[in-house]
Amino acid sequence: MIFENTKCECGHQNPVGTVLCESCGKPLENTESSEPLEMRYDGAARRSQKANPSLLDKVWNFFSSVKIAVYLIFFTLLASSLGTIFPQESTFLNMDPSTFYKAEYGTLGEIYYKLGLSHTYESWWFILLLFMIGTSLVICSLDRVLPLYKALSKQQIRKHLSFINRQRAGLIQTMPFSEEDGEAQEWVNKLGKQLRKQRFRVHTEGAALLAEKNRFSRWGPYILHIGLIIFLLAVVMRSIPGWHMDKHMGFLEGVPVKIPDTSYYLKNEQFTVDYYKPEEMSEEFREKNRSVAKLYETQAVLYRCTDRCDDDDPVLEEVHRQKIEVNKPLDYKGLLAYQFDFQETPTILSMDPKVRNLKTGEAFGPIHLNMNNPAQSYDAGPYHLELKGYFKDFGMDDKGQPITQSNSPNAPAFIFQVTGPDLPAQGSVFMYFPRQIDQQNFRQDAINGELAKTLAISVDSMDDVQIAAYTSYLNIRMDRAMPFIWVGSAIGMIGLVMTFYWQHRRIWLRLDGRELSLGAHTNKNWYGLRREIATSLTKIGMPIEQKALDKGGTNG
Amino acid sequence: MSFIDKISSASSSYLLVAFLLYCLAFILFVVSITGKRMGGKSPEAVSRRFGSAGFIMTVVGFAAHLLFFFTRWYASGHIPTSNMYEFMTFLGMMIILAFIIVYLIYRLPVLGVFALPVGFIVLAYASVFPSEMQPLIPALQSYWLKIHVTTAAAGEAFFGVGFAAGLMHLARTIRYKGDNPSPVWERRAFEWTIVFILLIVAFIGSVFSFNAAGYKATFVKEVTVSDTAGQPQVLKQDETYVLPPIVQPSGSQMVEMKPFLGMTKPLFEAPSWMEGKNAGRQLNTVIWSVIFGALLYGILRLLARKPLGAVLNPAVQGLDPEDLDEVGYRAIAIGYPIFTLGALIFAMIWAHEAWGRFWGWDPKEVWAFITWLFYAVYLHLRLSRGWQGKKSSWLSVIGFIVVMFTLIGVNLLIAGLHSYAGV
């Protein structure tokens, strides 16, 4: 092993990996060269530059490399673009990916699916890439911010001559006075005063000067990285059970529907779809004869269940009432409901028919029939009806037995036991289909036989029928990680602004005899730095072009 | 004619005025960098005078552009950033604004020679899309339409100026003569960049002239779609061409076609896998753009008798390459936070409000993310790995191509939630 002497001539002992002496700034590598210095992190040693790396150190070193970080970002970029070639599986609500891609996009689609690119953003390798970027963000930042902080918080005013002269911006000039002259001190003070006017913090030590501004801008990248880490953690937190819910549900007008895994019920009282009228369109657009939707609105009521929650008739208490529009979701204590879609689904909700004696022509009632949750018994004048059976969506199975085909009242059928005038004491069975079309299809009169001639149940007019015209589809969501997402974004944004809208600038100056050496450094925007120095020198009577301060080179 | 209709027709004339003023400003900037002695004045004085005149013309054009923007806003009742035409005119306006800002920092007339064309090519491109005012659909009825779209466009506009500066830097530093010319790949790549820009110019030019001539051809094809209940339905879909159809949509029937140069029917049919909406028309447009672009390049090349890069190179020889490099970097550094805010953060807030999720890997979102990652690579390479000069300029050129793909390519080629913004 080669013994590395890291002691500087000024007497300071530097850690291994130091490029510029921590104290006086003398270059410890390439000492003969006159090229501009590598000024990154002010030449301080980073943890990743340890002499004998252990396994942990090696992992640290891997992730601390900006080169690796750039590769990671680049691969993520490529992978992301692959995912946009065909629509992702998540774009569709109901679809079988194993056949869809082949049917829709042919062989290419099949290859795309087989490679797993149809769910790029959920695949393990994509998540691994994001995870590695997160690790790199943490390690890169820690590896650099600590040495940089140390270096910037203990700066010497009088720097080594070769440190000053090997900056990318600066000048060497013979002055009409010497270091020891009072005139020299006066000149340095005058420059200091001018630089203060330009909002520099100025420190002097004899005829040496250090001016610095906007150091905080150097912390910008690290604040940005902290913001990104919080953001990534928030994304991970969404996989905690109960932190994230995402469901698409249909809400028929007038029927409260339970939101799964919660004690909430949501009712769509009325859905409205509205289109632009011709006079609301521009002349050119009117000619195209296209209809454009203006409004989709669900009048929603949110209930909380207080009792009998698992039964058919839960006890509901209204907690919130709101119009849901696109861009105006329902928001109640973190439960969100978004307008997603709608469908015209004319469905009978309930009706108020009368019981009629066909012999006398008398009508009794009305009785209230609820299609979703009918009552057990009804009284209409002298008649009494007991509900013996109810089918929401009437049909016959293979054996000819009546069944209900779905849980929606598409073809409701009631079987009543009726007692009253001219009827047997034990009552007669009467079957009632509220929809006229079902009465014909299932031949209600034939089923009821003789009874159909003496008894009828019917409404006076359609006013006595409550119909739901629309089903509104809402996207029900819950996302407890959102506050962290926004906090992470805000912190990241602050970091970005600090980084790019301010520049850290430093100017060093010393007189050796009559020779003035000025060097300046910034981590970006050299043009602005040179112009700032040129302005200050010109103002104190030493006119100079900004270009004359450019020593070339790309380091820094 | 109602008051609103009057305003809306005046509005389009303001845009035309702005466009013409930008062209004039461009010519003034070109004169300013040629370094000629005029009327007994030194080249420096001439350059300064024409440079300021060009800048003033740009500012006046920008004012006319603003007038267009606000009158259209007034007439349509919503901010004019709701479809492709409105967005592209807004992006053009932001590119000019970004140019004005960067010009005020660096005062380089040559920037006008490269940045103004980026601005007015984008403006001319806008004219390809239907320009009528459309009613605002529910998804766009949000104040985030104002905030998200405008900030995103402002950020992208700075990338556009960075692109212009990158091009300038490459034009200046790629060596065509002497003992030490640049590698062949670099000269070729730059030449291809010029070809690519000429293709876009040819595309706009051809759509513009055929539109003006009233050319039209229509095809119809039957497509099977499933309705909301999942039942297949056969629909007739029209495709209208403004350029003579060299290629017709896959599986379509011709409805009408004006003959063009003796051509009365399409030469061939688009391959069957190109089934997307308007895929046939887009392929046809690409073919015409390549034909006209190649023609345009061929003519210029014949006139110059050397690579066009070699023509540009001496014209910008008087410029300092490091200043150009820095201008490009600064434009991107100014644009990056604005882009992050507009195209990602505001986009996430709006997406959370409108769609119920802040991020859904919609193609437009993914490409905004890709753009952001790309410029992150650019900044890391530049600030941490010392990629300056030509390498950095190439990245800024590629970066803006990614931006344009995000804005246009995604809408035309990939369907997604943002597709209402397209045509």
Mean pLDDT of A432-448: 87
Dist CA B49 CA B47 (whole Å): 6
Tokens found for residue A551: 């020593």
For chain A, the domains span: 46-152, 158-218+501-549, 244-348+471-479, 353-458
B11–chain A nearest CA distance, Å: 13
Interface contacts (A, B; CB < 8 Å): 151
Coil, strand or helix at B311: helix
Q: Identify the residue with better confidence: B283 or A129.
A: A129
A28 phi, psi to nearest 5 deg: -100, -10
Q: Name every residue whose Cβ is closer than 8 Å to that of residue B146 and which is 6 or more positions away in sequence.
A: B79, B81
Question: Residue A254, by phi and psi: left (phi above 0), alpha (psi -120 to 50) or beta?
Answer: left
B23–chain A nearest CA distance, Å: 29
CB B156 within 8 A of CB B91: yes
Q: Name every residue whose Cβ is closer than 8 Å to that of residue A57 and which is 6 or more positions away in sequence.
A: A48, A50
pLDDT of A527 reads 85
Check residue A411 and report its DSSP letter: B
Under the banding of pLDDT at 50, 70 and 90, the label for residue B422 is very low
Torsion of CA A322, A325, A331, A332, to 10 degrees: 30
Chain A within 8 Å of B376 (Cβ-Cβ)? Answer: yes
Q: Do A77 and B377 touch (CB under 8 A)?
A: yes
Tokens found for residue B348: 């996430």
CB A519 within 8 A of CB A166: yes
Q: Name every residue whose Cβ is closer than 8 Å to that of residue B229 and which is 6 or more positions away in sequence.
A: none
Write out pLDDT tens, residues B302-353.
998 888 888 888 878 878 888 888 889 999 999 999 999 999 999 999 998 8
Checking DSSP bridges between strand A330-332 and strand A315-325, what pairing results, if any? unpaired
Q: Do B141 and A326 touch (CB under 8 A)?
A: yes
Q: What percent of chain A has pLDDT over 90?
A: 24
Dist CA A529 CA B19 (whole Å): 36
Chain B within 8 Å of A458 (Cβ-Cβ)? Answer: no
Most B CBs within 10 Å, among A84, A480, A501, to test the B interface: A84
B225–chain A nearest CA distance, Å: 12
- Which residues of B fall within a CB distance of 8 Å from A482? 352, 358
Write out pLDDT tens, residues A213-229.
999 999 999 999 999 99
B214–chain A nearest CA distance, Å: 17
Write out pLDDT tens, residues A531-550.
899 999 999 888 888 888 88
Check residue A393 and report its DSSP letter: B
CB A515 within 8 A of CB A550: no
CB B296 within 8 A of CB B198: yes
pLDDT of A5 reads 62
Q: What are the DSSP calls for B160-184, one per residue? A: HHHHHHHHHHHHHH---SSSSPPPH
Q: Identify the residue with better confidence: A425 or A312.
A: A425
Chain B within 8 Å of A275 (Cβ-Cβ)? Answer: no
CB A348 within 8 A of CB A409: yes
- Which residues of B fall within a CB distance of 8 Å from A77? 370, 373-374, 377
pLDDT of A273 reads 87
- Which residues of A fall within a CB distance of 8 Å from B134? 281-282, 285, 292
Mean pLDDT of B29-50: 78
Under the banding of pLDDT at 50, 70 and 90, the label for residue A556 is very low
Rounded to the nearest integer, the mean pLDDT of chain B is 84
Task: Give the other-Cβ count within 10 Å of A510's Cβ.
Answer: 25
Question: Residue B305, by phi and psi: left (phi above 0), alpha (psi -120 to 50) or beta?
Answer: left
The minimal CB distance from B380 to the residues A70, A285, A550 is found for A70
Lowest mean pLDDT among A239-243, A517-521, B70-74: A239-243
- Which residues of B fall within a CB distance of 8 Å from A36? none
Dist CA B148 CA B358 (whole Å): 13
- Which residues of B fall within a CB distance of 8 Å from A121? 361
- Which residues of A fall within a CB distance of 8 Å from B388? 554
Dist CA A231 CA A489 (whole Å): 7
Above 50 in pLDDT, residue A410?
yes
Mean pLDDT of A284-293: 78
Chain B within 8 Å of A70 (Cβ-Cβ)? Answer: yes
Q: Do B134 and A475 touch (CB under 8 A)?
A: no
For chain B, the domains span: 3-176+306-421, 182-305
Q: Do B385 and A70 touch (CB under 8 A)?
A: yes
Nearest to B208 by CA among B318, B308, B129: B129
Q: Which residues pair with A344 in a beta bridge?
A: A470
Tokens found for residue A85: 């070639």
Above 70 in pLDDT, residue B392?
yes
Instruction: Evaluate whether the domain defined by A158-218+501-549 bears CATH number 3.30.160.
Output: yes
Q: Do B361 and A121 touch (CB under 8 A)?
A: yes
Dist CA B90 CA B151 (whole Å): 11
Above 70 in pLDDT, residue B254?
yes
Reduced 3-state DSSP string for A424-472: CCCCEEEEECCCHHHHHHCCHHHHHCCHHHHEEEECCCHHHEEEEEEEE
Tokens found for residue A37: 């210095």
Burial (CB < 10 A; 0-12, 13-18, 19+), residue B118, is buried
Q: Do A77 and B373 touch (CB under 8 A)?
A: yes
- Which residues of A fall within a CB distance of 8 Å from B358? 482, 485
Give how far Cα A379 sits from Cα of A353, A418, A423, A448, Å. 12, 10, 15, 20
Dist CA A118 CA A101 (whole Å): 8
Write out pLDDT tens, residues B256-288.
777 777 777 788 887 766 655 667 777 788 888
pLDDT of B423 reads 33
Q: What is the radius of gyration, based on Cα positions, of chain A?
A: 40
Coil, strand or helix at A248: strand
